[in-house]
Structure 1
């Protein structure tokens, strides 16, 4: 039986029955799985900077780990994100903000793939519209997580801070967000 999943909420199918990629294995272009240091670096859009500012000033994210990169996932009905642990090219915590429609996220050290966009995990947590999920500790480093096939279109923004040793060569920190401080309580 061959199962195809959509990779990272895109329309590119991935054969999940093949051997999982290990940290030392290379991708189709011959790169080790990591931040590609010679890629062009784009600045964060202003609306992303506003979200980051709110998350830090409201004490949702720590001031010593201000995100300097983001992933914007745009899901169509049926899209999913296969089970994975976020790479350590990014420091913890990792933060995801959900928009447009709700969905669930699953956690387990090993998540079973049941079918196309269907997974069986140990814990399933709802992500309502406007929710903020912060992953750190074992939830980020040990347990795999996935988004089962969504019923309706949705978007999410995942905010991450690149490990200082892994940043692209032309990357320059944004002074507008790099030195944010939380509000005094």
Structure 2
């Protein structure tokens, strides 16, 4: 089973790497000499605090489809490591409200190719649509950490069936996007309560 790979991402300047895999316990040992111990992924911390496997790959592997975990990820949120919180501007709140109205359903093109009408529905936005909304409100989309544009090692097969460019992919930091949207919801509720 291949381990998750990392990629060169906005805010975390690393190139795609792929960790080594562990040998299945049911796999036969080599015929000569003692069995080699399983190879485990070694992690490194980049200068910007990102964790990435050290083993490099020559191909742009697709991102991990599903991650199973017992609890959610813990994101550092220490006030001693942040600038003072600034309130969202009127333009940012307006963009948040507009984005909330764009939430819809979609199917992944690769799933449609494999499963046809049985492909499952997902709920969300596309980054390209979010970029358009932010720009329409006079904002720079890439000033926000929830907008990510990952530059991958060139590989024509990396985007097969996804509709994405061979050397790049757009993504969200969903936790930050949801907080941005929540501020728009709060603004609408405040306006309704004041009416």
Same fold (TM over 0.5): no
Structure number with larger C-alpha Rg:
2
TM-score, with structure 1 as normaliser: 0.30
TM-score, with structure 2 as normaliser: 0.29
Higher relative contact order (CA 8 A, sep 6+): 1
Flag the structure with higher strand content: 1
